[in-house]
Amino acid sequence: MASRNIMVVDDEVGIRELLSDILQDEGHRVITAENAQVARELRLSTRPDLVLLDIWMPDCDGISLLKEWGNAGLLNMPVVMMSGHGTIDTAVEATRIGAFDFLEKPIALQKLLKTVNTALLHADTLPKTEVNLVSLGKSQLISELKQRLEQVSRLQTPLLLMGKKGGSIELCAHFLHTPGTPWVNLTEYEKLSSTPLEILEQAREGVVFVEELTALSKMQQKGLNFLLSNASKYQARVICATSHSMPQLIENAAVDQSLLQLLSHTNLKVPCLNEHREDIPELVLSITTLLTESSGLAYKEYDVAALNALRNADWTGDLKQLEAVVQNLMLTSLGDKITLEDVSRVLEQFTDTQAMMEVSFPIDLSQPLRTARDDFERYYFKHHMKSVNNNMSKLADISGLERTHLYRKLKQLGVSIKG
């Protein structure tokens, strides 16, 4: 078997040295940790192919560390628990949390090597670290979101997710996706109107994800309605997303109200980062670990002041902005540790750009052209209606539209005409 990276975590120096010598003789690279805190730091800076983890340690027991890694989305390598005082209940509990196997001390050489080889073969099938809903945080807001999604997961009903663009809506959708089943991310909306049955066949027993409800044309909305009506026949779940609130969707004349009524039966608001800031430090570490493993970037620690600055920043671009900031910090910070000065430098770049965009043009330019055009016209008419105190004659003069055409346009855009 090819050489692998193995972490041995045990508070007894004799056991660490013995296991290290045996595994190195087998051709593996071994790193050791004398307690849970050192193991935490090593796990953040590298992804071992296998961890041998003692249960009884003075600072934190192995079961708690295993659970901690699982909650943070870091349990993507096999973990073999070790104990000299093991019980069946402990082994079952460890396996339930995510341990691959359980070794009782003193460990027989052949049993150790067989377990290690089997675990390393299993390691090849595990996914890489990713930012997912589990790693998004442990705050009450996120915990309640997970609970609601778990309740929804028991049903096959369609779901509408409402949240900020660039946020964690897709993470919520993936939370409802069963691994090994189809995941159809509809980026080509034309298929909704031309081949809806093909979409359902492709998504059989899986998930169809529609990124932005308001980007669909009338014909595409009819196709989506067809999907919703027939999804149960294919045991498929349809999840739609939007950056608009329910009142905005109701006001938007471009959204078919019968379709909206169908989707509104089960809908969830996805909180933005600014609403659960307490989760940001841990999320930053998860993103850093992901970039270290997937991009080959050198791992860098953060000092406390740097993490506090990231927590207190205004994340107008939500999760995507945080990911961009973390990557920038890892690429451009000169020291081994990311400091408050590094964070202030990078945040200033992003804040200035965001502020310029918001001041110069209050329309989201990342959305499809038709939606952006509607948003601009809606903004244009509301601005001038306010300036002329809803005088339709003056508004017609300013816009250069005939009164009949003006009324039709306002109705189409969902702009209410106040008397």
End-to-end CA distance of the chain: give it in Å, rounded: 80
Query: Tokens 């000169």 label which residue?
Result: 334
Q: Return the pLDDT at 52.
A: 97
Name the residue with higher pLDDT: 136 or 275.
275
| Position 357 pLDDT exceeds 50 | no
Name the residue ranges covered by the structural domains of the chain.
5-123, 134-271, 274-360, 369-413
Task: Report the alpha-carbon distance of residue 217 to residue 41 in Å, rounded.
Answer: 50
Task: Please state the pTM of the whole predicted model.
Answer: 0.62
CA-based angle 242:245:248, to the nearest 5? 105
Amino acid (1-letter code) at residue 70: G
Task: Report the alpha-carbon distance of residue 382 to residue 387 in Å, rounded.
Answer: 9
Across 126-140, 322-336, 367-381, 398-412, the highest mean pLDDT is recorded for 322-336
- Average pLDDT of 40-47? 81
Domain 274-360 matching CATH 1.10.8.60: the answer reads yes
Query: Tokens 């708690």 label which residue?
Result: 64
Domain 134-271 matching CATH 3.40.50.300: the answer reads yes
Task: Report the alpha-carbon distance of residue 192 to residue 286 in Å, rounded.
Answer: 36
**Which pLDDT band holds residue 125 (cuts at 50, 70, 90)?**
confident
Q: What dihedral angle (degrees, nearest 10) is formed by the CA atoms of 203, 206, 211, 214?
A: 70
Task: Report the alpha-carbon distance of residue 192 to residue 210 in Å, rounded.
Answer: 10
Q: Return the pLDDT at 45.
A: 74
- Average pLDDT of 255-271? 88
Same fold, 134-271 and 274-360: no
* pLDDT tens sequence across 101-110: 999 999 999 9
Domain 5-123 matching CATH 3.30.720.120: the answer reads no
Q: Over the chain, what is the mean pLDDT?
A: 86
Task: Report the alpha-carbon distance of residue 345 to residue 10 in Å, rounded.
Answer: 41
* pLDDT tens sequence across 365-398: 666 777 778 888 888 888 888 777 788 888 887 8
- Average pLDDT of 52-60? 91
- Average pLDDT of 140-156? 89
**Which pLDDT band holds residue 418 (cuts at 50, 70, 90)?**
low
Contact indicator for 9, 52 with CB cutoff of 8 Å: yes
Residue 343 backbone class (left: φ over 0; alpha: ψ -120 to 50; beta: rest): alpha
Q: Return the pLDDT at 123.
A: 82
- Average pLDDT of 180-199? 86
- Average pLDDT of 99-119? 93
